[in-house]
Structure 1
Amino acid sequence: MNARERLIVGLDVPTLGEAEQIVSTLGDDIVFFKIGYQLVFAGGLEFARDLAQSGKKIFLDMKLLDIDNTVASGVENIVKMGMSMLTLHAYPKAMKAAVEAAKGSELCLLGVTVLTSMDEQDLIAAGYEYDPHTLVLRRAEQALLAGMGGVVCSAEESAAVRKIVGPGMAIVTPGIRPAGSERGDQKRVMTPADALKAGSSHLVVARPIVKAPDPKEAARAILAEMEAAL
Structure 2
Amino acid sequence: MLSYAEASDKVIIALDCSRERAFELADMLAGKATWVKVGMTLFYAEGPAIVEAMRERGLRVFLDLKVHDIPFQVQGAVRSAAMTGADIISIHGLGSSAMVSAARKGAEEAAEKTGRARCRLVAISVLTSMDQDALAEIGVTSPIAEEVARLASLSYGAGADGIVCSPQEAAQMRGLLGPDALIVTPGVRPAGSAVGDQKRIATPAAAIQAGSSKLVVGRPITAADDPVTAFDAICEELMA
- Classify the TM-score, shorter chain: over 0.9
TM-score normalised to the size of structure 1?
0.95
Q: Which residue of 96, 99, 102 maps to 2:104? A: 99
Aligned pairs, number: 227
Partners of 2:151 and 2:44 in 1: how far apart?
Answer: 28
What SS does the corresponding residue of 2:122 show, helix, strand or coil? strand
What 5-or-longer segments of structure 1 have no aligned partner? none
Residue 54 of structure 1, CA deviation? 3.8
Query: Within 5 Å, which residues of 2 pair with 1:76-87?
Result: 76-87=79-90
Partners of 2:165 and 2:88 in 1: how far apart?
Answer: 15
Q: Which amino acid aligns with 1:151?
A: I
Q: Is the 8 A contact 2:48 2:81 kept in 1?
A: no
Q: Is the 8 A contact 2:82 2:107 kept in 1?
A: yes
Are residue 209 (structure 1) and residue 213 (structure 2) matched? no
Q: Which amino acid aligns with 2:7?
A: A
Are residue 121 (structure 1) and residue 125 (structure 2) matched? no
- Indicate the larger mover: 119-128 or 185-194: 119-128
Query: Within 5 Å, which residues of 2 pair with 1:1-230?
Result: 2-13=6-17, 15-90=18-93, 91=95, 92-103=97-108, 105-228=117-240
Residue 44 of structure 1, CA deviation? 4.8
- Indicate the larger mover: 20-29 or 99-108: 99-108
Residue 24 of structure 1, CA deviation? 1.0
What 5-or-longer segments of structure 2 have no aligned partner? 112-116
Partners of 1:210 and 1:170 in 2: how far apart?
Answer: 24
Partners of 1:130 and 1:46 in 2: how far apart?
Answer: 41
**Closer/same/farther in 2, CA of residues 44 and 6 from structure 1, 3 Å limit:** farther
Deviation readout 1:143-176 (Å, 9 max, x if unpaired): 2211211110000000001111000011000000
Partners of 2:234 and 2:50 in 1: how far apart?
Answer: 25
Partners of 2:41 and 2:82 in 1: how far apart?
Answer: 21
Q: Which amino acid aligns with 1:36?
A: G
Runs of 4+ in 1 over 3 A off after TM superposition: none
Q: Is the 8 A contact 1:33 1:56 kept in 2?
A: yes
Partners of 1:226 and 1:59 in 2: how far apart?
Answer: 20
**Closer/same/farther in 2, CA of residues 6 and 44 from structure 1, 3 Å limit:** farther
Partners of 2:175 and 2:159 in 1: how far apart?
Answer: 16
- Identity within the alignment, %: 37
Partners of 1:119 and 1:85 in 2: how far apart?
Answer: 26
Partner of 2:114: none
Q: Which amino acid aligns with 2:27?
A: S
What SS does the corresponding residue of 1:96 show, helix, strand or coil? helix
